Structure 1
Amino acid sequence: MQFSQQLVEHIQAAFSGLWIQSPEAEEVEWRLRALAQEHHWQLAAWDLSQGLRSLSESAEGLSAAPAAPDRISDPLSALQHFLERPTTADFTAELLVLPNFHRFLQNPEIIQQLIRGLRLGKQLRKFLVILAPIVQLPPELQRQFVVLEFPLPQADELGEIARELVADAPSLIPTGPTWQQLLDAAAGLTRSEAENAFSLSLVRHGTFQPDVIWELKSQTLRQQSLLRLHRGRESFAALGGLSALKQFCRQALRPRSGTQRVTARGILLLSPPGCGKSAFCRALGQETGRPVLTLDLGAVLGGIVGETERNIRQALQVVDAMAPCVLFVDELEKGLSGVGGTGDAGVATRLFGTLLTWLSDHTSDVFFVGTANSIQQLPPEFTRAERLDGVFFVDLPAPPQRQEIWSLYRKEYDIAASEPIPADTGWTGAEIKSCCRLSALLGISLADAARQVVPVSRTSAEAIEHLRQWANGRCLSADVPGLFTHTSNSTSRRKVTPSTN
């Protein structure tokens, strides 16, 4: 349902408290002005800088004159004036818009005045509309307000912003795939951010360049501290092994015709550390032409009641707005380790529930990639059907895959092909890379560098074996099509000679 329709319906149903969540207060005000003119609402606004003012249309046009004889800069006085001002039959409703009013909701007098205003508003058809980038209601008002989300601009609106900037030179508007790449790059930005990004591209290059948009978007995400944007040049060609996983993702994320509405949901990668899960995800974005958004579950956790839930919802809203994209969550079992416990007052459980609901219900073209090094701490409901398209086990690379990885890193670190490869049984790709890097860094042979590498297969042999046994018949293989199979090589720790008696 469109935002405008939602708002009109709530006004008609006499919901006297409306909370509009948006970082674009000015854009919301302009939308409210248009709706007020269409539906004959009387519109006023109050903020600290301008006091109480009218936003309604007059015969001379939009009036910015104060709504009261004197400038009302006190929030309590503004609320009282609005509520006690005589109503007029010329308007079907009266709205007081309060931008960034969440900053005043720690004051008990203001809370009480709002409660009074909401009660009177139903009788007098007077509505209090709070505009804020976050939802931060005190307990007394949580059931008094309805929260509406003002959507970020969609592709057609972003395109209109770009066209307005070059209205005098329409030839600068790109066509074909370049136009779509530009709109994809701007997805998830506010109207003001998109306009700034388009303007910077015009100043810097004289035309619209998606790379400039991605640069500004990456800066914006860094400011929020919840998501990181990755657009590197890694590819599957620089990643040894994982042939079945690569093929699965290529097929799942291939371009589809307009009549096909099916979208890929995501995968979970389970493996010992150092087997290339994170590198695969970064390369996946380049291979499929999608930006990779990394969600840090540790950064989502907040110290204030309700902050964690608000952070995860905000992050997922940005992810949905940036579709098509890849959402990467590393080491899930650590971020969700408190699920079911009571030590954090249920914060981890609520975080997990929000993520589960999004995985099941989201309709945006977002491909989720989660990784885990241990299955014991991961809640079992995470991997049920229709939340993910598959659970893959990434085992330690086999000899042919290790040879491929050696070739890649020999070339990267300029190591002669004639230099013999040291014994590498049980090595991960990260350990092979470390050996090559140390050889180039210290100017020593690969054999000498290998003496400084202790493989995880030696330090965590029992944990890796347990992980393999769990994945046997339960996970898809990342290397060959079909289920992962593993035959245990363990033997009894004690040899007993049967008695001959």
Structure 2
Amino acid sequence: MKEELNILVQAQYPLIYLVTPEEERAEQAISKIAKSNTEHRRVFVWTVTHGIVEYGQPRQMTQHNTVSPEAAIEWVIRQKEPAIYIFKDLHPFIDGPVITRWLRDAVSNFKGTEKAIILMSPLQQIPIELEKEAVVLDFPLPNLSELDRVLSARLQKGKNSRLTTETREKLLKAALGLTKDEAQKVYRKAQVKAGRLTENEVEIVLSEKKQLIRRNGILEYIEEDETLDSIGGLEELKRWLRQRSNAFTERAREYGLPQPKGMLILGVPGCGKSLIAKTTSRLWGLPLLRLDMGRVYDGSTVGRSEANLRNALKTAESISPAILFIDELDKAFAGGSGSGDSDGGTSSRIFGSFLTWMQEKKSPVFVMATANRIERLPGEFLRKGRFDEIFFVDLPNPEERQDIYRIHLGKRRSDIDRFDLEQLTKISEGYSGAEIEQAIIAAMYDAFAQDREFTQLDIIAAIKATLPLSRTMTEQVTALRDWARQRARPASASVAEYQRLEF
């Protein structure tokens, strides 16, 4: 990106929009670009609090009467010498007709000159009048070499100035996805807490990193203790996941394999779709980030929703390889391709941005999405190549229900031989895994209230007292099965084998 910014400046692009929360790093990069060009350019910075000040000079050296955006842009237009003018946080004013007109005047005035305006903001907000004039760039988060300089500076101030290569690499990778300032803070915290930076402090850095990721409320760092073995059935899906457990290694690249893009898991609610996504993180040894699409949408400021999505995806890419988990995709993007009238086009833009990112992403971010209502999903999500595979998770068959009973009873009691699993399996036909688990819990509560151990009869009573979704939503389940029969891969091994033989 820095190379792209340098090319744009040299090519005399008059208006550049730089999206970043890291003002200091971005200013340093722009200053280096200005000095490296044949035609040395001065750099000026505008803020609404101090007006225009030359970069590197005290704030008191402000240009007279340039605090207002209009006066500042007018002053910039009057200047004759080559220069780069950085405007910080102009986005609250940019939609005003006067500011928009001044910027268009500046673009017209700058043609053929060595002058450029760089709008720097954590939010991307460009009026329609300027869309053809502005070039948008995302300033990347620090890479490993930049983080290495941050770590080296921290080590010089501590007790340990040397680290093994392995420990240094772990500390650097643990900080990927943080800004330079955030990395400085977490290294400082780890050093203060332990007195020195060692391999043991990697967990401190990771813990703080999780808090920083959660702080924006859009991405959530999920840790799951369960494994694939804690999920009953779904053997075909499990086999697919185990085959790709080393898909993000260098060995896979050397073998010629492409990086997996993602998978969509469709199915009846309560059949283990979300748990599969969470346990895959542990199987593959990758961090799991949950993207809360409900929190992406923010109507407080125009462009805020789009900025939320971009920042979340940038964070996921910066700590890749990682798994990006989107639960209930059908609710997140329902009608996304045709909602232009209901919300000013925000949903359509969010949907389009996400599809473009999925298509063009080069970073190893594996998108794992679940959905219950296939009719609500835009068709663009389901076209071939968007996901590596689409799996359908049906209600558990008899063998899977028996496996589910064995797993959930085994979690709670060691002596499960006293239960007749075959009988329980027969009477719970049409029940999901979640409904079976809740029946066991209900049986335990009934027995606990009577101060006794729960029995087979308690579970049977709890099952009979439950009306499963397969009966209350018969039409929906039937429609989903009909759709998946020809368009999705069955998650259960027995169904997959049957379909292969039928074919």
Partner of 1:163: 152
State the match for 2:388 in structure 1: 389
Unaligned 5+ segments in structure 2 are 449-453
Match of 2:325 among 307, 324, 328: 328
Moved more, 36-45 or 46-55: 46-55
SS in 1 for 2:376: coil
Residue aligning to 1:79 = 73
Look up the match of 1:275: 271
Kindly indicate whether residue 7 of structure 2 is the aligned counterpart of residue 9 of structure 1. Answer: yes
* 8 Å Cα contact 1:393-1:484 kept in structure 2: no
Unaligned runs of 5+ in 1: 56-61, 88-92, 488-501
How far apart are residue 106 of structure 1 and its match? 4.3
- CA–CA distance in structure 1, aligned partners of residues 336 and 86 of structure 2: 40
Task: Indicate yes or no: 2:451 matched with 1:461.
Answer: no
> Does 1:359 find its partner at 2:355?
no
Distance 1:451 1:130, change over 3 A: same
| Residue number in structure 2 paired with 1:207 | 197
349 and 95 in structure 1: CA distance in 2 versus 1, 3 angstrom threshold: closer
1:54 is matched with 54
Please point out which of 97, 121, 129 is paired with 2:110.
Answer: 121
Provide the residue aligned with 2:214 in structure 1: 222
Q: How many pairs were matched up? A: 473
- In the superposition, the TM-score normalised over structure 1's length comes to 0.85
SS in 2 for 1:425: coil
The C-alpha deviation readout for 1:160-209, integer Å capped at 9, x for no partner, is 32222113555663543x55444343222111112212222222233353
Q: Aligned letter for 1:216?
A: E
The AA in structure 2 aligned to 1:47 is T
Contact 1:275 1:428 in 2 (8 A): yes
Shift of 1:353: 2.8
1:183 is aligned to 172
Counterpart of 1:41 in structure 2 is: 41
Equivalent position of 1:234 in the other structure: 226
Equivalent residue letter for 1:212: I
**Aligned counterparts of 2:349 and 2:78: Cα–Cα separation in 1:** 42
C-alpha change, 1:348 and 1:18, in structure 2 (3 Å) is closer
Is 266-275 or 45-54 further displaced after alignment?
45-54
User: How far, CA to CA, are the matches of 1:473 and 1:65 in structure 2?
Assistant: 67
Q: Is the 8 A contact 1:222 1:228 kept in 2?
A: yes
Corresponding residue of 2:406: 407
Q: Does residue 1:439 correspond to 2:438, yes or no? A: no
Structure 2 residue matching 1:73: 3-state secondary structure: coil
Give secondary structure in 1 for the equivalent of 2:487: coil
Matched, 1:132 2:116: no
TM-aligned CA deviation for residue 276 of structure 1: 0.2
Show the 5 A alignment for 1:93-132.
93-132=82-121
Query: Residue 289 and residue 13 in structure 1: after superposition, are their counterparts in 2 closer, same or farther (change >3 A)?
Result: same
Quick one: which amino acid aligns to residue 387 of structure 2? L
User: Residues 122, 52 of structure 1: CA spacing in aligned structure 2 closer, same or farther, 3 A cutoff?
Assistant: same
- Counterparts of 2:135 and 2:276 in 1: how far apart (Å)? 43
CA RMSD of aligned residues (A): 2.8
Q: Which segment is superposed worse, 275-284 or 399-408?
A: 399-408
| Cα displacement (A) at 1:213 | 3.1
Identical residues among aligned pairs (%): 30
- 1:482, distance to aligned residue in structure 2 (A): 8.1
Aligned CA distance change for structure 1 residues 462 and 121 (closer, same or farther; 3 Å): closer
Query: In 1, are the aligned partners of 2:262 and 2:366 still within 8 Å (CA)?
Result: yes
Aligned to 1:448: 461
SS in 1 for 2:92: helix
The 8 Å contact of residues 333 and 378 in structure 1, kept in 2 or not, is answered as yes
Shift, 1:138, TM fit: 2.5
C-alpha change, 1:282 and 1:161, in structure 2 (3 Å) is: same
Question: Contact (CA 8 Å) 2:53, 2:63: kept in 1 or not?
Answer: no
- Structure 2 equivalent of residue 316 of structure 1: 313
Q: When you count helix as a share of all residues, which structure comes out higher?
A: 2
Structure 1 window deviating more from structure 2 (274-283 vs 6-15): it is: 6-15
Does the aligned pair in 1 maintain the 2:54–2:62 contact within 8 Å? no
Equivalent residue, structure 2, for 1:31? 29
Give how far 1:416 is off. 4.5
| Range with bigger deviation, 370-379 or 14-23 | 370-379
Superimposed CA distance per residue, residues 375-425 of structure 1 (whole angstroms, 9 cap, x where no aligned partner): 222233323332211111112222222222222222333375224454322
Matched, 1:470 2:488: no
SS in 2 for 1:102: coil
Change in 2 beyond 3 A, CA 1:107/1:197:
same
Distance change (3 Å), C-alpha of 1:240 and 1:196: same
Residues 69/312 of structure 1: CA separation in 2 closer, same or farther (3 Å cut)? closer
Distance in 2 (alpha carbons) for counterparts of 1:33 and 1:288: 42
- Structure 1 299/465 Cα, relative in aligned 2: closer, same or farther at 3 Å? same
Contact preservation (8 Å) 2:12, 2:113: no
Match of 1:253, SS? coil
Question: CA 1:452–1:163 in structure 2 vs 1: closer, same or farther (change >3 Å)?
Answer: farther
Shift of 1:85: 3.9
Q: Tell me how far 1:307 sits from its aligned partner.
A: 4.3
Provide the C-alpha distance between the structure 2 equivalents of 1:265 and 1:253, rounded to a whole number of angstroms: 14
Q: Within 2, Cα distance between the matches of 1:469 and 1:485?
A: 16
Q: Could you report, residue by residue, the CA deviation over 1:121-145 in whole angstroms, capped at 9, with x for unpaired residues?
A: 2254322221111111223333332
The alpha-carbon distance between structure 1 residues 98 and 386, as it changes in their structure 2 partners (threshold 3 A), is same
Secondary structure of 2:5 counterpart: helix
Partner of 2:451: none
- Check conservation: 2:262, 2:388, Cα contact below 8 A: yes
Q: Measure the CA separation in 1 of the matches of 2:181 and 2:149.
A: 13
1:337 Cα deviation from its structure 2 partner = 2.2
Per the TM alignment, residue 277 of structure 1 is displaced from its structure 2 partner at its CA by 0.4
Deviates more, 1:293-302 or 1:128-137: 293-302
When the two structures are superposed, what TM-score results if normalisation uses the length of structure 2?
Answer: 0.85
Q: CA deviation at 1:459?
A: 2.1
More displaced, 40-49 or 250-259?
Answer: 250-259
The residue type equivalent to 2:105 in the other structure is R
Q: Is contact 1:476-1:482 (8 Å) kept? A: no
What SS is found at the alignment partner of 1:376? helix
